[in-house]
Amino acid sequence: MSDKIIQITEMNKWFGDFQVLKNINLEVEKNKKIVVCGPSGSGKSTLIRCINRLEEHQQGSIIVDGNELTEDTKDIEKIRAEVGMVFQQFNLFPHLSILDNCTLAPIWVKKMPKKEAEDLALQHLEKVQIADQANKYPGQLSGGQQQRCAIARALCMEPKIMLFDEPTSALDPEMIKEVLDAMVNLAKAGMTMIVVTHEMGFAKEVADEVIFMDEGMIVERAETKEFFANPKSDRTKLFLSQIL
């Protein structure tokens, strides 16, 4: 059981009266790459935001790396430090340079010495191929570069799990590829990843499993090949016919 890094059981979540997530059961094993897809408003983003408790769930339990997410904030900070997240809108800190964006959390949260943190950051920036931009500010970079920097920033915390919340949706088509390449490399390095995306090409290339969500429920979960070759539910078939 130890390789189950995320365990979600019987999870429900409401925004006011509106139930966004209904009876979610999900287990993710270590080093697996999961792609979550589905129409907008289906609760995909909310689901992965629940995993590092940017949103609170009201019922059920979420266990990340053996720690249950509860009200206790100390634990939550510890879990968040182990779960990296990349956002649709990049959310880089505009008042800091690219390098400082990457070293901020390692220095202040993990208490890493500055020199060490900078070496680590440059190493990760090198991997996503923007080490030469390290001293620029986020406002001076293109969208694709910013998103790659956001990936590097999350990696600098050396997380066990990476969550991607539609990382390519705010980019123009030419830049999508460079971000996806960075993510493919990361997947090949063996990171546990949960990716919310509409990029089916990416799903086919790297995902171990695909989850299809609609109206707050997990409609279908299958091995990647199985999912695309013969989807079981009609809703999935309809979705795939429109998107492919």
Asked if residue 111 binds other proteins (CB under 8 A), the reply is no
Angle at CA of residue 194, ends 192 and 196, nearest 5°: 155
Q: Would you say 86 or 187 has its CB closer to other proteins? A: 86
C-alpha–C-alpha distance, residues 98 and 41, integer Å: 32
Return the residue of 11, 47, 62, 85 that touches other proteins, per CB under 8 A.
85
C-alpha–C-alpha distance, residues 69 and 88, integer Å: 24
Question: Residue 195: what are its φ and ψ, rounded to 5°?
Answer: -120, 120
Asked if residue 121 binds other proteins (CB under 8 A), the reply is no
What stretches of 109-169 show up as alpha helix (H) in DSSP?
114-127, 143-155
Q: Would you say 179 or 219 has its CB closer to other proteins? A: 179
Q: Which amino acid is at 236?
A: T
Show the site string, 144-183: x = touches other proteins by CB under 8 A, - = not. Answer: ------x--xx--x--------------------------
Asked if residue 84 binds other proteins (CB under 8 A), the reply is yes
C-alpha–C-alpha distance, residues 171 and 150, integer Å: 13
Asked if residue 190 binds other proteins (CB under 8 A), the reply is no
Positions that interact with other proteins (CB under 8 A):
49, 52, 54, 73, 77-78, 80-85, 87, 89-95, 104-105, 108-109, 137, 139-140, 150, 153-154, 157
